[in-house]
Structure 1
Amino acid sequence: MSSGNTHLVVGSGPSAAAVALALSERPDQQVVVLDLGGRLEEERQAARARLAATGPDGWDPADLAVVTARTAPSGSATAVPQKRTYGSDYPFRDLGQTRGTSGPPGTNLDVASSAYGGFSTVWGAQVMPFSRSTFDRWPVSWADMEPHYRAVLAEVPLAGEPDDLAELFPLLAPTSGLPPLGPRTAAVLRRYERSRDEVRTRGVTVGRARLAFAARDCIRCGLCMSGCPYELIYSAAQTMDRLRRRPNVRVLDSLLVERIGQVGDQAVASCRDLRTGQRSEFTADRLFVGAGGLGTTRLVLGSLATPPPRLEMAESIQFVLPFLSTRPVEDPRGPGARDFTLNQFNLLLPFDDEGYTTSQVHCYPYNPAFLDALPAALRGRWAAPVSRQVLRRLSVGFGYLPSWASPPVRVVPRPGAAGGLPELDLGHPPGTGRPELLRAVLRRLLRVAPRLDLWPLLTHVTLSGAGKSYHFGGSFPHRHGDAGAGSPGTDRWGRLPDWDRIHLVDGSVLPSVPSTTFTLTVMANAHRIASGVLTGEAPVDLRLGSAVS
């Protein structure tokens, strides 16, 4: 049993928040969070607060314009524009965490967040567990994970409803139910119920979204995808704000952690203060690294005495797929149209009986970004009647394939500036083509299209570049026993052989990345690791190189 210990936590995103949540429940545990701490600009925060103080009828158009500013269309048929939150790019702003990262065209280089709250400040809020069968291949079982899924869902609000998805992916916690669904979603669900047996026989299950937001308070103002003015969508920043009010939690901002290590029975984090440039060291009994899958990977590669010359990260690759329906709904931009614009329904395609190999497509109703994605010829004023008819029929799906059916992300480190993080080359391995499973997914969706009136526009399927799904990890995966050849693995407590006081707790330790949603499992696994330290299940062994598993 851990008693009166000190702990360092690197990062403030979902995994770091889950660690701090577990540790700080014990008043005798002292927690210090080391974070870059990027924040929304004051003028945008002020505009958001003014909108939140009233209802949409009282909104100042100037404030609304500030918080809904979007990126310009990319002009690339294969690029998904970088998302904004309250009109800001601050979750992606480089404060040193991505400097020196490069890759071929199409590679996502915004792979680590400097924001307080990490990428949960700009995510899509989908929450589902991994299937039980996933854990049959891990050194961590479903029974190990389930109580930590529940502990996280006691902190994270869950909006969803029991449906066919629960057969493989149980809700695990009370839900608030979703707000009223948009007309396109309601039509698809009605058709699914009428043809449920046939659609499922053809390999597709339809269900409502599972979302981390306070749905009971939603007024359907339509700003979900640009940033909820009422902050109803969960962010790890909300948890960190609550925890930092506890007397045993300190959050230190403007710190870039550049090295980690261990001296005797003390874990060490070497940081650079972004305001002064000065370097300092923090020591504690344990160190938990939750800088995100790529952020943690980079930090570890720069800290190991003999890092691997290259490694591969598992990614659940993303594809974007528009759907058209023959039966139109009312114009989603009409004066009476009010909707929430997060993911509303999911298409699940299982390729076995145990829910191991699946593809999942998150389907979205209209939001203003749809206009940016229309061909230029349809964005002009003269084309308004045509674009109106397109928008009355259009849904957009963001789909995912499991990591074992997706190309990996190759990571090649290079020496960086003295004392700083290493530089990284990222990308898919040479010769990477379109995954075979994607073809099977598209064939199934086409087979059920007449029953759902949801026709995949196969000529406009785009496969996102390396790292763009943000569902990646596995650079130092949990493994049974000896890590073996290739990249080093971690024990079930996220420890590399070099260190027994340092725990990796984010996506970097996941043995695989299924197609279903990612963040809930990252948080539950981080909570499991931290809880194991408190209960003594993760003992220490000062003979470095033989961490106890």
Structure 2
Amino acid sequence: MPSSIIIGSGPAAAAAVLALSENPGEKITVFDPGTVLDAEAQEVISKLSKLRVENWGEEDVRRVSMQPKRIQSDSLPEKRSYGSDFPFANKGQLDGVHCEGRVNPAVISSAYGGFSNVWGAQIMPFSAATFKGWPFDFSVMEKHYRTILGHIPFAGESDDLEEWFPLIGSPDPLPPLAPRTQMVLANYDRHRDRVRSTGITIGRARLAFSAPECQPCGLCMTGCPRSLIFSASHSFDRFRRSGRIDYHSGLLAVRVDQEGETAVVQARELSSGRIHRFTADRVFVGCGAIGTTRLILGSLGLDQPVHLAESAQFVLPVISMRPTPDPRRRREFTLNQFTMVIVRDDEAFDVSQIHFYPFNQAYYDALPGFLKHRAAAFATNRLLSRLTVGLGYLPSWESPKVRVSAQISAAHDELPKITLTSEGFSDAKVGGKQVPPMLSDAMKRIRKAAPYLDLWPVTPQMLWSGGAKSYHFGGSFPHAVEPDCGRSTTDRLGRLARWDRIHLIDGSVFPSIPATTFTLTVMANSHRIACEAMQLTG
């Protein structure tokens, strides 16, 4: 009986299991630290999920809707899931991870489902041009995109974004959109030619959530009480219920290796420190890009620095001249509702992207203290009726890199210590902030389109996130058309030269990180790797 081990339970791991489970004879073992939401919060969610929104108790809602927590004063706050920080909790996976400068330290998740417990649910393929330089093209990926979109909930609609980002599959329509979103889309339709002449295209969000079941409640960003937003944990729940996988929690992989035709994993039991040894025909490593990088550096005994590409993140507030009704009086779904793509070429390779969100409580919480005073109510109302916030990304080739320096442990059962450093910042400035030149160009284009869209960028209040904060990073061991015989690149199956039965399946193998949405391609590529690996003999 062929056998496989999956390390991790995030989106990449879920996609690999989806592929491997198609072979009824495949024995699949999965392990990870497996941190989960506390029982009290789970009980509250279960209670709310059975009630209509108007019947929810105020205390129950308060318990599971804690707003993001500011960890660094000049960076985007850290999200919470149902009032909990469990996706970021250190259960040993962050021991020995150090950061220099403005770099996010919470880069490896111990959670069951990984960071998909707190993601934004955006789900769009890379453009065909993005795959230039990859050892396969969009036509190879398309069937895997289609399989993943058939496996997860999918909401979206046909619009101009399809010119570069095909609407693969059959999405459900989005729930009713907020008044500001409706205004922007109407303005775009009215002035399409003028807006498109600036390089800007506007379209509706594409989201991994069960839109037909949505009863808008405004809690999307803190955790949907009906669990309608996809998490990789949902996939693993199904695999476990069906008996298709042998799942072990409480384990942290510390070494991978190959002995002859057998792949070997050593993992530490977090509760006792005891080392377990697993063997299989193949191992698929999906610990997240930095978690995988650390594991592989230690397993190779490689103490030379490696660099991760990142699609750097920024936050852009925009103001509209025309107000909407007070958004605090409405219940909306508060995931991204419309997307702005800024294209600098004719094939959607050199692209930046901004996801715009309707009002949620975090808007109000982020206001200066004086605007929360009763005496400022009139000004605050006017501001909130005009304010929209965008979360934007630049491609990796226009963003700083993240350097990973490893200090290899002499003990064979210890992960190496690693230091993360952001490198390659530019001298360009927007709103007095030091940013890459592409962001300056994007702001110029948005200002040109502002009179037509009624979206005016407030660049002095723009927030530029530190290194590794976007969670859209990878490329430490990129796929190569012709992998070298050293330790830096992988073949199209995510294999380094040293091993032919150990496959890296997450963002660590991406040759580049575009600005467009990330997780769908992580899942599709992992699914592709697992499918192609199953076709190999032995």
TM-score band (shorter)?
over 0.9
Partner of 1:253: 249
Partner of 2:363: 370
Task: State whether structure 2 residue 326 is matched by structure 1 residue 327.
Answer: no
Give the alignment of 1:6-25 within 5 angstroms. 6-25=3-22
| Distance in 1 (alpha carbons) for counterparts of 2:218 and 2:338 | 16
Question: Following TM superposition, where does structure 1 have runs of at least 4 consecutive aligned residues deviating by more than 4 angstroms?
Answer: 71-75, 430-433
Partner of 1:492: 492
How does the TM-score come out when normalised to structure 1?
A: 0.94
Question: In the TM superposition, what is the alpha-carbon distance from 1:59 to its structure 2 partner?
Answer: 1.1
Structure 1 window deviating more from structure 2 (35-44 vs 57-66): it is 57-66
Give the 3 Å change call, closer, same or farther, for CA 346–430 of structure 1 in structure 2.
closer
Alignment check: 8 A CA contact 1:29 1:248 kept: no
| Distance in 1 (alpha carbons) for counterparts of 2:402 and 2:390 | 23
SS of the residue aligned with 1:333? helix
Partner of 1:504: 504
Partner of 1:546: none
Task: State whether structure 2 residue 291 is matched by structure 1 residue 295.
Answer: yes
Question: In the TM superposition, what is the alpha-carbon distance from 1:431 to its structure 2 partner?
Answer: 5.4
| Distance in 2 (alpha carbons) for counterparts of 1:429 and 1:11 | 28
Give the unaligned 5+ runs of structure 2. Answer: 428-434
Give deviations 1:266-296, integer Å, cap 9, x for gaps: 1111011112221110000000000101110
Task: State whether structure 2 residue 33 is matched by structure 1 residue 36.
Answer: yes
Task: State whether structure 2 residue 412 is matched by structure 1 residue 411.
Answer: no
Give deviations 1:36-75, integer Å, cap 9, x for gaps: 1110011111111111110122112111111012245568
| Distance in 2 (alpha carbons) for counterparts of 1:466 and 1:75 | 12
| Distance in 2 (alpha carbons) for counterparts of 1:476 and 1:246 | 34
Question: In the TM superposition, what is the alpha-carbon distance from 1:480 to its structure 2 partner?
Answer: 1.6
Pairwise CA RMSD: 1.4
SS of the residue aligned with 1:353? coil
Give deviations 1:162-211, integer Å, cap 9, x for gaps: 00000100011101010000000000000000000110011100000000
Which residue of 307, 310, 313 corresponds with 2:308? 313
Alignment check: 8 A CA contact 1:100 1:416 kept: no
Alignment check: 8 A CA contact 1:318 1:401 kept: yes
Partner of 1:440: 441
| Distance in 1 (alpha carbons) for counterparts of 2:69 and 2:502 | 42
Task: State whether structure 2 residue 411 is matched by structure 1 residue 422.
Answer: no
Alignment check: 8 A CA contact 2:68 2:362 kept: no
Structure 1 window deviating more from structure 2 (521-530 vs 383-392): it is 383-392
Give the 3 Å change call, closer, same or farther, for CA 432–312 of structure 1 in structure 2.
farther
Alignment check: 8 A CA contact 2:127 2:164 kept: yes
1:127 alignment partner AA: I
Give the 3 Å change call, closer, same or farther, for CA 390–484 of structure 1 in structure 2.
farther
Give deviations 1:491-521, integer Å, cap 9, x for gaps: 0000001111100000000000000000000
Partner of 2:373: 380
Alignment check: 8 A CA contact 1:73 1:372 kept: no
Partner of 1:157: 153
1:244 alignment partner AA: R
Give the 3 Å change call, closer, same or farther, for CA 146–67 of structure 1 in structure 2.
same
| Distance in 2 (alpha carbons) for counterparts of 1:229 and 1:156 | 18
Which residue of 137, 140, 143 corresponds with 1:141? 137
Identity over the aligned pairs, expressed in percent? 49
Partner of 2:458: 457
How does the TM-score come out when normalised to structure 2?
A: 0.96
1:332 alignment partner AA: P
1:317 alignment partner AA: A
2:182 alignment partner AA: A
Give deviations 1:339-371, integer Å, cap 9, x for gaps: 100000001001110111100000001010111
Task: State whether structure 2 residue 476 is matched by structure 1 residue 475.
Answer: yes
Give the alignment of 1:74-473 within 5 angstroms. 76=73, 78-305=74-301, 307-334=302-329, 337-416=330-409, 418=411, 419-429=413-423, 432-433=426-427, 434-473=435-474
2:372 alignment partner AA: R
Partner of 2:432: none
| Distance in 2 (alpha carbons) for counterparts of 1:342 and 1:368 | 13
